[in-house]
Structures are given as structure tokens and as C-alpha cells.
Structure 1
Amino acid sequence: MAFAEKYINPFTDFGFKKLFGSEPNKDLLIDFLNQVVLPEQHRITELSYTRNEHLGATELDRKAIFDLYCIGRNGERFIVEMQKAKQNYFKDRSVFYASFPIQEQAKRGEWDFQLTEIYTVGVLDFVFSEDADEKEVRHEVKLKDQNGRVFYKKLTFVYLEMPHFTKTEEELETTYDKWLYVLKHLPYLDSKPKALQEKVFDQLFAAAEIAKFTPDEMNAYEQSLKYYRDLKNVIDTAIMEGETKGRLEGEIKGRLEGIKEGIKEGIKEGIKEGIKEGEIKGRMAAITESIVKQLLRGKLAPEEIAEDFGVDLEFVLQIKKEQGL
């Protein structure tokens, strides 16, 4: 397949792991964490990748699957995730995931409970702030007391709301700015911008060039890009038409009933406020196809898939049953 873009989309699963999750490109992740996440007095020079799946003792533990999980030379833990769409209980999920690198530090026998720093990093392709007037890009969250003083400094959540980053190439001043710029604009660039002179960006653009991929990498990226575009199309369409989450769920249910009964009336029941039948078919097909792919991968439980797509669990279970999975 020939791609119109020259460089990979870092918001795809394949693209994110290609740039930040492989040993040859470890320097990219180190520089990203140093420039975007960590304070100046706490720079890291080395880290090691660990298993993305948290293999805990219980079924609940095994539901924790991170995009990237790595450990710094001094024991710092980093959970790094690229989030494509807003999820129900997004903040709860972040706190839940942070509990695993805390628990795994426990030692047998006598132990003084001393922990190393833990950072949960979310690069968001959406806006999650409740305050619509707040346009901040970077959010750093710590445990604080009633007077705003940091109660515990070893647990940090950093969220980057990428839609709020609006600087142009001419406005880039710091390496932090340049990292956010390249993450947001990479698939739309034809060459490395002149403002990005740092050596680390030479490495990034070389790794991101699609023409250098192997056939297997091309195929993997194509599938990952299709999933990203399908999901983004559903979200963008819903936003454009002012649909609420509840209305979209109603349309999905109505469409499924129409398919099962084999009559057009079922389709009409799933269409709200004059939305054209062709449009709902497209959204339905995209969501259904994406859910099937997640079920085939077998990494997420139906409950997690339902939460990620903002649909009812019954919807996911119905698809699983119809596909014989």
C-alpha cells in the first residue's frame, strides 16, 4: 500500500510503539520524558522496558495493559499511554493503573515501605478538562493537602491535552514546545522543520519515515492507521452533529436490532433527529469493525472494550456472539 503521508502517525498504536517502544529508539523516549514530564533536577539517562501486561495474582490485576511501561536506572516507574479517545472514568483508570507499579515494589520479609517515583503520562488526542474555559496543554497532578501543599511527591500524573497546543513553527522556543509540535503535526509534514535542529529529532524523523518500513511493518501500520481513522471519524462526526453519547448508543442499538430482524424499520428506530441512514451505517460499521479487532486481539476484556468505545457491555457481547469469538 502506498501512503499519502511521508511520516508515521504517532497516535496510532503501531506508530507510538515504533517511535517510543523499541530498543533502537529508546533515546527518543528518554528525551521525551526529560523534556516533557520530568523536572529539570530529575533527568534520566537510562531506562529499561518491561512487559506491557501486568501479570498480577488476580484476574483484576491482569486487566491492566499499558501502552508502554519502563523503569529508570534509579527505579523510577513510567507508565506512558497515547490516548486516542475519551473514555468513561478516565481519571479512575489512571489512578488504578498507577497502583500496579506501587504494589510490585513490595518486598518479602522485613520492608520499610520505601517507594521509588511513579509517573503516569497520558498524551491525549482529546480534551478531558471539565472547565471548558481552561486551555492548558500540560496538567501535572500530585497528592496535595487542603492548603495546596504537596503531601506525597513520588506519585505524579502528567496529562498533555494535544488539541490545546496551537503554537506554529515560528513560535517554538523550547525543546518541550518542539516535542509537542512534532507529535501533533508529524503525519502532515513533508520534511523536518528547520526549527527542530536538535539531534534527537533527526533520529525521530528517520524512524518515522514510512518508506523505510519492512513489508510486515507496512501491513501492521496500515491496520493500526485504519483503526485510528475509523475511531476518529466516529468521534468527529458525533461532535460535528452535536450528538450526545447516549444518542449514539441508541443509534447503535437500533442498528443492531435492524440487522437482526432484517427489516428497515429497525434501522429507522436507530436514527435520531434526521441523521441520514447512510451516515449511521458508516459509523456503525466503523465501530463494529474496531470492536471485532479488539476481540480478536484478545488483550482486553469485553468490559474494557465497552468502556473504551463508550457503549453498553451487551453490545460488545452481542458482537462477540455473532462473530463466534
Structure 2
Amino acid sequence: MRFINPKNDLAFKKIFCCSDSKDILINFLNAILYEAQPVIQDLEIIDSQPTNQTLGVPETRLDVKATINGDRIALIEIQLLNVPSFEKRVLYNAAKTYSLQLTREERYERLKTVISLKIADFEMFENQRECTTRFVFKEKDPKIDCPDTEIELVFVELPKFQKDLAALETTADRWIYFLKNTSNIDTIPETLRVFPEIEKAFQMASQENFTQQQLNELQNQEDWMQDQQIAIDLAREQETKTAHLSLILRQIVRRLGTIEPETENCIRQLGLQKLEDLEEAILDFNEQSDLTAWLESQAI
């Protein structure tokens, strides 16, 4: 049996958001949001239109919007690309969903809590070791909970999840493992078959449930994502290189006085790693000939 990638737009909606998968979504949300406690008894999936595209490119995420237990709204989003201002967009969409609940005639008491669950296929919080992070309104110093925490932001950073099958302890662990690893395995692990909703999710993720046209569309989306990630990585590398280059040129002027145009052109042709090497080597330069000799040693 082969499985599709559940992080893909079409695949995620097929597994979690079709008419036959309400039990899967309830189990998934209870696991991630409420430590597998049966807090969510029922939910209703709401059709959600895509918001404005980021950077003028096709959608890099998927959104599922559901009313849970009649008094909360859950926004579930998988973000595959680490695009600029992602965190701001998360807060904006949660706040917009909260504020647009009422018409002019309705009272504030009708407002539902908004829980925004974001599953990121990249690391977001450098100093946070755990893969799941939850933000609510708190008093600044003693960290007392705000009486009305009407917007909650929950993030799951998939790269930080490193557990193998033998180390899975909680239902949340099992669901995160499913999201991260399903497309890389060819059988349902026996240790996960005993959980009905997770086994059902695996069955729905089987390629046998997709037409050839859908499989082709999935592959096209995967290819597009890879192309976009390459473009983002190159742009970030170029930004880093530009910053290093600017610093190095200033250091050379301070240490050696001036830079000949030909020498500067040679420096600009260096790759990022070579620039980092030059940044360290500059500390030992005393005259222009030292710089020239170093560049010649790099075969530039």
C-alpha cells in the first residue's frame, strides 16, 4: 500500500474534511488542543474561501474552518513554506475571523472563541524546543490568564518532532507522526492500527482512493512546492551574501584604506562560504598585497 502526503492541500482535505471524516478531525483536534481529552464532542466544517495570496503566488497553505461544540471556531492551517510575515498573517486571520462574527444588530455576548491551529513544515521559534506551542492572553508580569481569552494561537513545528514509532506516547504524538511520515512508509504501522481514527486516516490516505488525475495534481503541487522552496532558499542566501559583502567591504576600507575596482569585483564574485572565510582572514591582513594574495589563492 502506498500513501499520499497528508500535508498536501487536496490530501489533507480528503482525509480530515470530507463527510466521512468528522470523527478523524474531532480526534485530531482533541489530541493537539486538549491532550486527548474529549473536549470536542461535535463540530461543523465551514466552507472557507482562501484569503489574499502571499507574495503574488498561488496558495501555499490550506485552511479548514470549523465550529466546535457550537461555541468555538477552529482554524486549521498547514503552512509548507516559510514566507515573510507568516506570524503576522496568522494573528490577522484569527482577529479577522473573531471580529467578523457579528452583524451590527448582534451583541458581543454572541462572539465565539477563535482557536487558530497552525502546522508549520519549518521551524518558527528558535528558542523553543518543544514542537507544540500555545499562546493566549496573559498579564505581563505574573502571567495571570486573561479572564476572556478569546483568541488562542497554537503552533506545531513538524521539523522539531523527532520521535520514531517506538517513542510515541500520546495521541498528539501519533497524529504528528502521521502528518510527518505517512508519505514515506508503505504499510500502516501495527502500533497505530489499534487507534480507529488514525487507522481510518491511513486508509483514506491510500493512493487507491485517488484517481490518476488527482494523483497527478498531487504530484504537480509537490513539484511546485519544491520549486518555491528552492526560490525562497536562494533569495535568503542572496540576502545573507549581500549583508556579508557590505560588511566585508567596510572592514577592508577601514583596515587597508581603499579597494581597487578590479579587486572589489573579485570579492563580489565570491560565494557565501568564501565570503565568510574572507571575513575571518581580513583580521590578518596588513596591506593590499595580503588581500590580493588571498584572492589569488582562491582561484578567482
- TM-score by structure 2 length? 0.70
Are residues 1:20 and 2:34 paired? no
Q: Which residue of the partner structure matches residue 148 of structure 1?
A: 143
Check conservation: 1:52, 1:69, Cα contact below 8 A.
Answer: yes
Q: Distance in 2 between matches of 1:22 and 1:102?
A: 25
Are residues 1:243 and 2:237 paired? yes
Check conservation: 1:123, 1:159, Cα contact below 8 A.
Answer: yes
CA RMSD of aligned residues (A): 3.2
Displacement of 1:202: 1.7
> Paired residue for 1:91, among 66, 87, 91?
87
Deviates more, 1:7-16 or 1:39-48: 39-48
> Paired residue for 1:208, among 202, 205, 208?
205
Q: Which residue of the partner structure matches residue 304 of structure 1?
A: none
> Paired residue for 1:174, among 151, 170, 173?
170
Q: Distance in 1 between matches of 2:196 and 2:30?
A: 15
What is the aligned length? 240
Check conservation: 2:36, 2:171, Cα contact below 8 A.
Answer: no
Are residues 1:225 and 2:225 paired? no
Q: List runs of 5+ in structure 1 lacking aligned partners.
A: 57-62, 249-270, 276-325
Check conservation: 1:106, 1:113, Cα contact below 8 A.
Answer: no
Check conservation: 1:75, 1:116, Cα contact below 8 A.
Answer: yes
Q: Which residue of the partner structure matches residue 180 of structure 2?
A: 184
Identity across matched positions, percent? 25
1:233–1:21 distance in 2 versus 1, CA, 3 Å: farther
Check conservation: 1:8, 1:186, Cα contact below 8 A.
Answer: yes
Check conservation: 1:82, 1:123, Cα contact below 8 A.
Answer: yes
Q: Which residue of the partner structure matches residue 258 of structure 1?
A: none
Are residues 1:103 and 2:136 paired? no
Check conservation: 2:64, 2:76, Cα contact below 8 A.
Answer: yes
Q: Distance in 2 between matches of 1:177 and 1:36?
A: 9
Displacement of 1:106: 1.2
Q: Which residue of the partner structure matches residue 70 of structure 1?
A: 66
Match of 1:142, as an amino acid?
V
Match of 1:149, as an amino acid?
I
Q: Distance in 2 between matches of 1:227 and 1:81?
A: 19
1:1-325 counterparts in 2 under 5 A? 6-38=2-34, 43-53=39-49, 67-109=63-105, 111-131=107-127, 134-146=128-140, 147-151=142-146, 152-196=148-192, 197-234=194-231, 238=234, 243=237, 245=239, 247=241, 273-274=270-271
Q: List runs of 5+ in structure 2 lacking aligned partners.
A: 53-58, 243-267, 273-300
Q: Distance in 2 between matches of 1:203 and 1:94?
A: 30
Q: Distance in 1 between matches of 2:38 and 2:171?
A: 16
- TM-score by structure 1 length? 0.65
Q: Distance in 1 between matches of 2:204 and 2:10?
A: 12
Displacement of 1:224: 1.6
Instruction: State the SS of the aligned residue for 2:149.
Output: strand
Instruction: State the SS of the aligned residue for 1:159.
Output: strand
Match of 1:198, as an amino acid?
F
1:245–1:218 distance in 2 versus 1, CA, 3 Å: same
Instruction: State the SS of the aligned residue for 2:180.
Output: helix
Check conservation: 1:79, 1:120, Cα contact below 8 A.
Answer: yes
Displacement of 1:112: 4.0
Instruction: State the SS of the aligned residue for 1:157.
Output: strand
Displacement of 1:246: 5.5
Displacement of 1:28: 1.7
1:170–1:145 distance in 2 versus 1, CA, 3 Å: same
Q: Distance in 1 between matches of 2:3 and 2:51?
A: 34
Check conservation: 2:42, 2:69, Cα contact below 8 A.
Answer: yes
Displacement of 1:192: 0.8
Deviates more, 1:213-222 or 1:165-174: 213-222
Q: Distance in 1 between matches of 2:155 and 2:80?
A: 13
Q: Distance in 1 between matches of 2:8 and 2:36?
A: 30
Displacement of 1:195: 1.6
Larger Rg: 2
Deviations 1:226-277 (A, max 9, x none): 2223234455x659xx8254559xxxxxxxxxxxxxxxxxxxxxx96348xx
Q: Distance in 2 between matches of 1:169 and 1:50?
A: 34
Displacement of 1:159: 0.1
Deviates more, 1:178-187 or 1:148-157: 148-157
